[in-house]
Structure 1
């Protein structure tokens, strides 16, 4: 009975239209040669051994789509940023506060023209304030620097200004034997306020006393000798009374 059934199935399998309508796996198992040891084949058994499914490309396709979207979003973002950069006007340049140079000299030399167009470190403009020692007053602070008050005559007009100098250039003697020509207190005030100077405040203060300067020359004379550093011999007295006695 089993043999007749298998022969019937084989005849049916020869029909191409019948084979085309069979589920996957049926034709492979039913066309196997008959064996006396083989057990009857049932549809339930066939369903346990389906053909391995073909690898799906959904995962790779999804990854590819995600990469394309990410790339498009990145390009769109960069383009938008570029549009913003091109459309927005650049910020206006910040005006740097000029550096103030106080020049202590008489009016015969106009120091402003020598510093016109010059910059400190190529960045800061230089504003020149020029006056003589007799036209200046100041107040120096430990934390606040030095505030200078200036009263000068410009073309018959009295100009009064107060400012904090950043640098000082001294072109006048700070001390003279003439009445009212002792400006050493201003030198001390500039030193007290920590103002940067083109010429050393130490040298300017030392040169206020000629005997003090000569004492420094005597040190060089004793170090190098009279042949290398000749010096005119002088005598110092603390008081002029000793010179006439």
Structure 2
């Protein structure tokens, strides 16, 4: 239901972080830590606790150690604009006990990929940070999509299909992301639920669908 609220409860389509419920990390064996962030620029600070998803022992140790252990890390690709620095949320955190989380963040427009049925998905991102162009290639272990796959100007479903083809797990399900590209398709699924449960048990606001504007006039 978090996904439904995030997609349809707000008219803000700018891609900035909203004040919704916590991200659902349970599919990746994360342990939820504290309340959700209240603003993109001020991530919530939490105290380290035991669990599959924990932070390092002290801030001084974080300053001395590298951001992640290259030999024991999982790569999280976050697709979002640069209004939110997601590194702050995962810095010093661990998954599966002692695996570091390596964060790669880019927008859909900065991503190229190739997916193979036997070896998975290889991603190239070309980003500009503080006037410097940076190009990196890597294989993501899981995804977090915070940017709209399609809007009035762009359609990035080809990138979404590439991730699905490579079988990359995503915090927000890729199948759901694809189905939610078209609201009439979503409402069609709701109608099917209503037909199964009954109008009284699953009420919906009556709507009409037209394949084009000419049918609306007639």
Shorter-normalised TM range: 0.5 to 0.7
The CA distance in 1 between the partners of 2:85 and 2:70, in whole Å, is 26
User: Within the alignment, does 1:223 sit opposite 2:196 as a pair?
Assistant: yes
How far the C-alpha of 1:109 sits from its partner, in A, is 1.2
Residues 205 and 95 of structure 1, relative CA distance in 2, 3 Å threshold: closer
* Aligned match of 2:129: 154
Residue 208 of structure 2 aligns to a residue whose secondary structure is: coil
How far the C-alpha of 1:159 sits from its partner, in A, is 1.3
Which structure has the greater CA radius of gyration?
1
- Count of paired positions: 150
Partner of residue 118 from structure 1, selected from 71, 93, 102: 93
Structure 1, unmatched stretches of 5+, are: 1-93
* Aligned match of 1:74: none
TM-score (norm: length of structure 1): 0.58
How far the C-alpha of 1:239 sits from its partner, in A, is 2.4
Residue 87 of structure 2 aligns to a residue whose secondary structure is: helix
The CA distance in 1 between the partners of 2:100 and 2:168, in whole Å, is 18
Higher relative contact order (CA 8 A, sep 6+): 2
| Deviation digits for residues 84-107 of structure 1 (CA, Å, limit 9, x no counterpart) | xxxxxxxxxx97331110001111
Superposed CA RMSD in Å reads 1.6
Which structure's residues are more often helix, by fraction?
Answer: 1
The CA distance in 2 between the partners of 1:111 and 1:191, in whole Å, is 23
How far the C-alpha of 1:224 sits from its partner, in A, is 2.8
How far the C-alpha of 1:225 sits from its partner, in A, is 2.9
* Aligned match of 1:184: 157
The CA distance in 2 between the partners of 1:95 and 1:166, in whole Å, is 14
